């Protein structure tokens, strides 16, 4: 049993099935600009803040644009796709609304602020969250704990009394470093590293399992 005062969600891979979309957009832009895309690029950039992955695209993948221009172009194209067809994870909206009835909710995401706001607008889930934090708004992206610590601060709760909902290697490490109870919902297509998954307190097959699992843990 553990005292839980709040629940903090990741966005990409947890609420939105977005990793393949980010991957596709970044690869397309890299190739259009004459860069050097490689098979490790997607996994390398998972969990990075926009500042980090835009520098990666410029310095490692050789995209000949300033990092801030890269970030803006990626976000613009990603948002165009979301407006056409938002890849919401099955059960995501229902799970968020169920948990919002019992706990204050936060969101701690590596996505850019405009992307976070668009997803919450399209899903009409914005009222469920007391705080949303983008890793571009803190000093360090995941796996550093900054984005989770800032979300807990915004909710005015001790990080050790929060449950974090994650799917990725860097996300799990970030939430664990913040001292939170970590519930991992691994994705089949982009699974976390086994050593990272061992850090999770709960490992679930789907979001549908989350509300009863947190009830048992609290």
**Average pLDDT over the chain, rounded to an integer:** 95
Q: pLDDT band for 19, please (50, 70, 90 cuts).
A: confident
Residue 2 clears pLDDT 90, i.e. is over it: no
pLDDT of residue 108: 98
Burial annotation 43-58 (CB, 10 A radius, 16+ → b, else e): eebbbbbbbbbbbbbb
Residue 31 is predicted with a pLDDT of 97
Q: Using one digit for the tens of pLDDT, what is the confidence trace for 156-210?
A: 999 999 999 999 999 999 999 999 999 999 998 889 999 999 999 999 999 999 9
pLDDT band at 66 (very low <50, low <70, confident <90, very high): very high
| pLDDT band for position 51 (cuts 50, 70, 90) | confident
Provide mean pLDDT across the span 48-73: 94
**pLDDT computed for residue 174 by the predictor:** 97
Cβ count within 10 A of residue 198: 11
Is the pLDDT score of 47 beyond 80? no
The whole-number pLDDT of residue 62 equals: 97
- At 57 the pLDDT is 97
Q: For residue 125, is pLDDT > 80?
A: yes
Architecture per CATH, domain 6-18+86-217, reads as: 3-Layer(aba) Sandwich (3.40)
Each residue's pLDDT tens digit, 74-114: 999 999 999 999 999 999 999 999 999 999 999 999 999 99
* Distance spanning both ends of the chain, measured CA to CA: 5
pLDDT score recorded for residue 44: 87
Strand order in the sheet with 129-134: 129-134, 105-109, 6-9, 162-166, 181-184, 202-203
DSSP state of 160: G
Which pLDDT does position 152 carry in this prediction?
98
Average pLDDT (16-42) is: 94
In the chain, which residues fall in CATH 1.10.150?
Answer: 19-84
Give phi and psi for 203, each to the nearest 5.
Answer: -125, 120
How far is residue 100's CA from residue 106's CA, in Å, rounded to a whole number?
Answer: 10
| Chain region(s) in the chain for CATH 3.40.50.1000 | 6-18+86-217
DSSP H or E stretch at residue 134: strand 129-134
- Whole-model pTM: value is 0.92
- 19-84 topology per CATH: DNA polymerase; domain 1 (1.10.150)
């Amino acid at each position: 049993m553990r005292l839980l005062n709040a629940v903090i969600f990741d966005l990409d891979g947890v609420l939105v099935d977005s990793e393949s979309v980010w991957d596709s957009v970044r690869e397309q832009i890299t190739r259009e600009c004459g860069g050097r895309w490689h098979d490790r690029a997607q996994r390398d950039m998972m969990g990075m803040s926009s500042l980090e992955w835009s520098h990666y695209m410029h310095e490692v993948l050789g995209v000949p644009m300033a990092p801030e221009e890269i970030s803006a172009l990626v976000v613009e194209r990603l948002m165009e796709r979301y407006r056409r067809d938002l890849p919401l994870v099955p059960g995501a909206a229902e799970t968020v609304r169920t948990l919002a009835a019992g706990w204050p909710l936060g969101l701690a995401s590596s996505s850019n602020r405009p992307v976070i706001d668009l997803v919450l607008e399209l899903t009409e889930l914005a009222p469920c969250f007391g705080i949303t934090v983008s890793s571009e708004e803190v000093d360090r992206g995941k796996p550093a704990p900054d984005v989770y610590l800032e979300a807990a601060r915004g909710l005015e709760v001790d990080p050790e009394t929060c449950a974090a909902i994650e799917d990725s290697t860097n996300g799990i490490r970030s939430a664990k470093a913040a001292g939170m109870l970590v519930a991992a919902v691994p994705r089949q297509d982009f699974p976390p590293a086994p050593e990272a998954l061992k850090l999770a307190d709960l490992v679930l097959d789907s979001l549908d399992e989350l509300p009863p699992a947190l009830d048992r843990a609290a």
